[in-house]
Amino acid sequence: MARGLVVLADGGPGGNRAPAGYGAVVIDAATGETLAEAAEYIGVATNNVAEYRGLIAGLTAAKALFPDAGTTGPELRVHVRMDSKLVVEQMSGRWKIKHPDMKPLAARAAAVLPPSSVTYEWIPRAQNKHADRLANEAMDAGRDGRQWEAAASTAELDAPARTPLPDRGPPGDAAAGAAKARAALAAARGGTEAGTLFEVGGEGPEAPGSTASEPTLPEPTAPEPTVAVAVAGAAAAASSTGTAAAPAPQVGWAAAPDLGAPATFVLLRHGETALTPEKRFSGSGGTDPELSATGRDQAARAAAHFAALGTVQEIVSSPLRRCRETAAAVADRLGLEVRVDEGLRETDFGAWEGLTFGEVRERYGDDLTAWLADPETAPTGGGESFTEVATRVAATRDRLTARYAGRTVLLVTHVTPIKTLVRLALEAPAQAMFRMELSAASISTVAYYGDGNASVRVLNDTSHLR
């Protein structure tokens, strides 16, 4: 009879690139008992990378618990439950894997256990609290310069009551099974045993392909750091003989699970100022101009548009005057208050403030060329690079999506923050910033879902100004 396990895995943060970590839990499908936990702080990484790392850790822990499965012992049947629709759909083979960072991770996950023995299911985040808390504990430990310690973990707050395990064989069999699991992990990963807490390297055998329709996947370029894994009791590690009926994974677009209402950001660029039609650099380090007559008319038209729609529930504005004036026009029409957020301000363009593109090329040609070629390069005179702006905007996005989950929020801001939000949602390179048109008082929309994914719905809509 096959041995049934459930793996819960999660990764964070919700941001695109920020300090990240993951958590994974292995559960006996028959009894609901936790058999192992894994967690690790992995430094700066995308949410999707962290999710995949959690999956790999969970599958590796499951395999290590029962190293003889399928040979001298019962076969394993592992049902993975995650709140990342991307990972679930890719590992189920329904979505192709296009991002180069995901391909080697998917290959490693597919190589841990035979693909026929693993099934995948998307679940709402509320049903993945154990793994989510482990990931948060790992990130907290990493920020404090510590390793995650299983002995100090309080992640298993909502665990079901323990079911007495059946007596299987003479005394000592359970302890022997747990010891074998620890030994297998140590041998495979170069870890060292320390009671029920031991170190396990993140590497695993590489697969020539994955279940996600990729013909050949590259190998990781470097070994992964170690991760602390805890086995939750020797008896648990050697028990479990039955299988639970695992829910069938969602199939196809029609059966997609309900992700809940997203946090929807309606991105309104401010109306024109005197500098706008002259196409002059106008950032947060310049004169902070007011709206022109044209700009005030644009703001009024935007306000009428949003009043007719009746969907905006909150308004947040850049602190710069042109945005606050635009936001005030909408707020007055909708009867809402305006919250000002420093993270939505425009780039500081340094010595280029107030100049046209041609004037900057004439005076600071080499600096401009470098700025166009490298997002790490700042404008002349101590301005902000696109990389610095992206870091600020991503942090603002994460803070606002958490605050306004499930709500529609009007963000009144500038060209660079709006383009950055769109670029990050699309996971596009920084150079994509130069390939987007964004008119004054235009509307763009991005929705942020509970599983960490984003959807760009509108870009540079000016129909309300006609």
Q: How far is CA 315 from CA 209, 413, 421, in A?
A: 47, 11, 17
Nearest one of 338, 268, 332 to 302, comparing CA atoms:
268
What's the rounded Cα separation, in Å, for the pair 451 and 47? 10
**What is d(CA 219, CA 227) in angstroms, rounded to the nearest whole number?**
20
**Catalytic pick among 79, 130, 270, 464:** 270
Catalytic-residue membership of 130:
no
CA distance 286 to 282: 6
Give the number of residues written for the chain: 466
Copy the structure tokens of residue 229.
């894994």
- Note whether 251 and 89 are within 8 A (CB): no
Nearest to 258 by CA among 84, 404, 410, 124: 124
| Helix orientation angle between 47-65 and 102-112, rounded to the nearest 10 degrees | 10
Q: Are 223 and 202 in contact (CB under 8 A)?
A: yes
Q: What are 118's two structure tokens? A: 């693993």
Among 40, 214, 346, 353, the active-site one is 346
| Contact status, residue 399 vs residue 413, Cβ threshold 8 Å | no
270 is catalytic: yes
Catalytic annotation, residues:
270, 346
